[in-house]
Every structure is written in structure tokens, then in C-alpha cells.
Amino acid sequence: MVVLGTVGLAMAGCADQSGPGAATGPQAPKAATSHKIGVLLPLTGPNAALGHELLAGAQLALAENGTSTTPGQTSALQMDVHDTAAVGGASAAATAAAEAGDGIILGPLTAVDTAAAAPAAQSASMPVLAFTSDVGQARNGVWVMGITPEDQVERLVATARQEGRHRFAAFLPDNPLGHALGNGLLASCRDQGLMSPTIVYHTGSQASITQMMRELSSYDTRRAEAQPDGNTAAPASTPAAPATGSADTTDKTLPSDLAAALKGGSDTSATASADGAAQTTAVPKLAPPP
């Protein structure tokens, strides 16, 4: 992706990529007056390892595409590197790139850093090729180069349709990434003429995951419908021990219907009566989930 920096000086004339913060009205592209490429990456801090790998990629691209082959002649392209994790953050890094006369910026890495760097870059009319995957950061002069959640979902839906699947659901974390994926699924199903998907969000806790999965799979409704009287069955008592020689102890600790399902869908289970004798009671067979 960083190879784009070698041709990025011509991108000021590309079509605008609008976003929530986009300015209105056309803007005349700025003619490239510098061959200096500003690189804004986290070179210290928690994202330093990824930042250094991206920097190495940029250096490789410059070596392969920007170095003159004439002995004694300097490279036509030069790299101006700034650490977005240093004092002042991405805003200070973008300001330093502008003061250095850079013609284009590669980076920053994250959505937060992109938002911080954008004002200084826009003031200097420097195009920004940001590595973030947050489409909300796209605006005049700022291009989102990461693979977005919306792009990923669109590809998944298209592939699933080729396999004959036409109904979709999503089980997602209740955070910005989860909602971006959910919105992407809604848009993909709408654009491809599919019925609206079922989307539920969980908070990440065990209780939330369990409850939201019950809702997604319509478990309570399916179990109620499986009872002869339409009511949810009471929890089964502790099952009797398996027959002599059996190694199956699954239904000693699990509800009878779940144990039966794990044992291959059998419709009966053994329970202990008041006098200790083993009895066989019917286990409801649940309909398939939606």
C-alpha cells in the first residue's frame, strides 16, 4: 500500500472522497511542488512494531521506485519521517511535515491520529493517504486506504450468495467496529436485494453473550413451541448414572435437552424418581433456528 506514495503526488486531482466532515464545493487541485514524502507513523509506544514495519515498506518502495540509477545523482523522491506517538502527537507531526515542505503524507495509522493530522494537512493542501479503515475519516484531501469493515462485509455477503445463501444475521460486539460491521451488513443486503438481516450486539460479558445468542437463535420461543402444552418445560432433575460399561457422563451435568442433542438428538432421557427408580421422560425436539 505504501507504494502508492510514489504516485501519490498526482492524486490531488483525483475525485473527492466525501465523509462526514467534508467541506462543500469543489477545490482546485494543488500542483505538486515537492518530491518530499511525509511519513506519519507510530514509531514509539504500543503501535511501534507495526509502525516500523510500515516504514520499512515505504523505504523499500522508495528504493525500488524513487532512486536514480545515475551514479552520483540523488534520488528524485525523499522521505520525511515523523513519529505520531511523540510529544504533540499526529497534529504536531503533520505540522512538521507541512513546515518541511512535504508534498504528500503517508499515514497516519489510526482513525484518531488521522483526525488529529487532517487540519494541518488540509491547511497546507497536502494530500493524506491514511492507513485507517474508518471511512468516517474521509474528507477533502484525506483518502482512507485501509480495508474497511464495510468492504469486508460486502465481500462476505457476495461470496455467501454465490454459495446459495440468502438470509443473514450478525452477532457483533457493541462497539464502533461492531456497529460498522452491522451497518455494512444492512447496506450490503439492501444493495443486493436481500431481506433485511437480523443483527444483535453484545457487551462482551458472558451473561450478555448468552442472552443475546438466545435472542438471535429464538431459543426460548422454539423451546416453548416444542412443549405439548406450549409452555417451557421445567428443568430436568439430575439424570441417573449411565449403564454399566458406558463412558458417557455428558448428561450428569447438562440439562436434559442439551445432553440429548449432544448425544445425537435422542428424544428421551433418564431421570430419577422420588423412590430412586430410573424413569424415562420425553425431551422436546426443538425446531431448527431461524
CATH number listed for the domain at residues 149-216: 3.40.50.2300
pLDDT of 237 higher than 90: no
227, pLDDT greater than 60:
yes
Return the pLDDT at 72: 53
CATH superfamily of 2-22+32-67+74-144: Response regulator (3.40.50.2300)
Instruction: Answer whether 0.75 is exceeded by the pTM.
Output: no
Q: In degrees, to the nearest 5, what angle opens at C-alpha 105 toward C-alphas 103 and 108?
A: 165
219's CB contacts (< 8 A; 6+ apart) are 213, 286, 289
Q: What is the mean pLDDT of residues 170-176?
A: 95
Do the domains 149-216 and 2-22+32-67+74-144 match in fold? yes
Which pLDDT score, from 0 to 100, does residue 196 have? Answer: 95
- Identify the CA nearest to 152 among candidates 138, 166, 172: 172
pLDDT of residue 290: 87
The CA-based diameter of the chain, rounded to the nearest angstrom, is 100
Give residue limits of the domains in the chain.
Answer: 2-22+32-67+74-144, 149-216, 233-282
The arithmetic mean of pLDDT across residues 248-266, rounded, is: 57
* Overall average pLDDT of the 225-243 stretch: 54
> Sorting pLDDT into bands at 50, 70 and 90, what band is 12?
very low
Task: Note the pLDDT tens digit of each residue in 110-119.
Answer: 999 999 999 9
Please list the residues that pair with 142 across neighbouring strands: 128, 139
Percent over 90 (pLDDT), the chain: 56
| Residues 223 and 261 sit within 8 Å (Cβ to Cβ) | no
